[in-house]
Amino acid sequence: MDHFLYRDGALHAEDVAISDIAAAVGTPFYIYSTATLERHYRLFEEALAGLPHLICFAMKSNGNLAVIRTLAELGAGIDVVSAGEYLKARAAGVPGDRIVFSGVGKTREEMRLALDGGIRQFNVESEPELLALNEVALSMGVRAPITVRVNPDVDAKTHEKIATGKKENKFGIPISRARAVYAEAAALTGIEVVGIDVHIGSQLTDLEPFEQAYLKVADLTRQLRADGHDIHRLDLGGGLGIPYERSNAAPPLPLDYGAVIKRTVGDLGCEVEIEPGRLISGNAGLMVSRVIYVKSGEEREFLILDSAMNDLVRPSMYGAHHDIVPVIEPAPGTEMRPYDVVGPVCETGDTFAKQRPLPPIAAGDLVAFRSAGAYGAVMASEYNARPLIPEVLVKGDQFAVIRARPTYDELINRDTIPQWL
């Protein structure tokens, strides 16, 4: 469920007409619904009720400070994967003890930054990283809290570019080597072992891979405790999928996911962490564009928009589907016609949809891409010297620009011409 609905024939974000925002900020732009962000976060809270837990929003899905602050005020932790994300989380008001640092390539500088500013734990992904973290911690006179990310070799049954839990993926330590790595960690005086981490991928629409992975984590927990390790925290990752196509069957609900967690690891007495991103922010956002031209080809019609693959790369990068709807509601019984929906970038890959059935649309009309709140703005670029598009947050009948569109002067002035030219 989201809070983007038609009222009196016009698409609204909560109580604000999308067309009013377009008139105020120009197109294209991203828009997020506070009510939807809050609702989705609370669904996970309800799903884990009865277990000690922390929900750490995966900031890589949406890193806007206002979005992070909205979730932090509900009690969310944050899962970060870089120094920049760590600093943004702190700037948004998230305390260090609610920040988890993930990622396969943490540098010593990033480790030092997080240890100095406060961190809940590092999710360690390799033995070289473990040794480097120990060195940094000892140089600072502190102990670094860690989990070790284990790779359970479970097929998440998702897109190959976002699967992370198979043995050929770059993430984590093979679960078969976990006991040896934990023994190594326990011998390092700059390291404090607090738990286990696992994350098998993103956009999962089947609970079975979660169950397989979490059962392996439960077995490992018992083995490590028998070896003398104090395993009291389980970071179970994220990855629960969202319904990008409204016509398809809905993915499992957070409540169903929570039942899997309780069934597999709920008897271990551990604090549970999960790291949802897409399910919290995905359906909480739209990208709104204006049609520049309707172009008739020999065999098809093209809707040429003012947004492009640099603004929303998921269709080009993953072949991903986003529902596209007109901002003005079509009359009941309107006959659909197929369009190729494309952007103005000089690449054939700058295509959002092919032969997508839509009501008749004219130049100047506004269209909205649904489910664009995750991996939209955060993956955008300024390819073709196209400035990043604004982000807008709505709450009730209010809206605010939470990231402004850069001017062309700002874009140009980021470059420096050396004096010899």
- The model's pLDDT over 78-89, given as tens digits with 9 standing for 90+, comes to 999 999 999 999
Mean per-residue pLDDT over the chain, rounded: 94
For residues 135-140, average pLDDT: 98
For residues 226-247, average pLDDT: 90
* Proportion of the chain in helix, strand, coil states, percent, rounded to 5: 35, 25, 40
The predicted structure's pLDDT at residue 297: 82
pTM passes above 0.75: yes
The predicted structure's pLDDT at residue 299: 86
CA–CA distance, 381 with 310 (Å, rounded to integer): 5
Sign, CA torsion 416/376/102/273: positive
Residue 326: strand, helix, or coil:
strand
Whether the pLDDT of residue 159 is over 80: the answer is no
**If you search the block for the tokens 């700058």, which residue do you land on?**
350
The predicted structure's pLDDT at residue 165: 42
> Is the distance from CB of 121 to CB of 233 less than 8 angstroms?
yes
pLDDT digits (tens, 9 = 90+) for 57-69: 999 999 999 999 9
The predicted structure's pLDDT at residue 266: 96
Residue type, 401: V
pLDDT digits (tens, 9 = 90+) for 191-215: 999 999 999 887 888 899 999 999 9
Question: Given pLDDT bands bounded at 50, 70 and 90, which one contains residue 166?
Answer: very low
For residues 384-394, average pLDDT: 98
Strand partners for 305: 291
Sign, CA torsion 109/115/120/122: positive
The predicted structure's pLDDT at residue 155: 64
CA–centroid distance for 21 within its chain: 24
CA–CA distance, 351 with 372 (Å, rounded to integer): 16
The predicted structure's pLDDT at residue 161: 46
Whether the pLDDT of residue 170 is over 70: the answer is no
The answer to whether the peptide bond before residue 28 is cis (omega within 30 degrees of 0) is yes
> Is the distance from CB of 399 to CB of 391 less than 8 angstroms?
no
> Is the distance from CB of 107 to CB of 86 less than 8 angstroms?
no
Burial 157-182 (b: 16+ CB within 10 A, else e): ebeeeebbbbeebebbbebeebeebb
Whether the pLDDT of residue 260 is over 50: the answer is yes
Give the contacts of 341 (CB within 8 A, at least 6 positions apart).
302, 303, 305, 324, 351, 352, 353, 356, 358, 367
Strand order through the sheet with 10-13: 4-7, 10-13, 16-17
Q: Residue 15 is encoded by which pair of tokens?
A: 């109580």
Residue type, 93: G
Of 131-135, 232-236, 346-350, which range is least confident?
346-350
Burial 296-305 (b: 16+ CB within 10 A, else e): eeeeebebbb
Active site residues: 346
Question: Given pLDDT bands bounded at 50, 70 and 90, which one contains residue 164?
Answer: very low
User: Where are any strands of DSSP class E within 238-330?
Assistant: 271-274, 285-296, 301-305, 324-326
The predicted structure's pLDDT at residue 272: 98
DSSP string, 214-230: HHHHHHHHHHHHHTT--
For residues 97-105, average pLDDT: 96
**Domains of the chain in sequence order:** 4-31+282-413 (2.40.37.10), 34-281 (3.20.20.10)
pLDDT digits (tens, 9 = 90+) for 282-304: 999 999 999 999 999 888 999 99
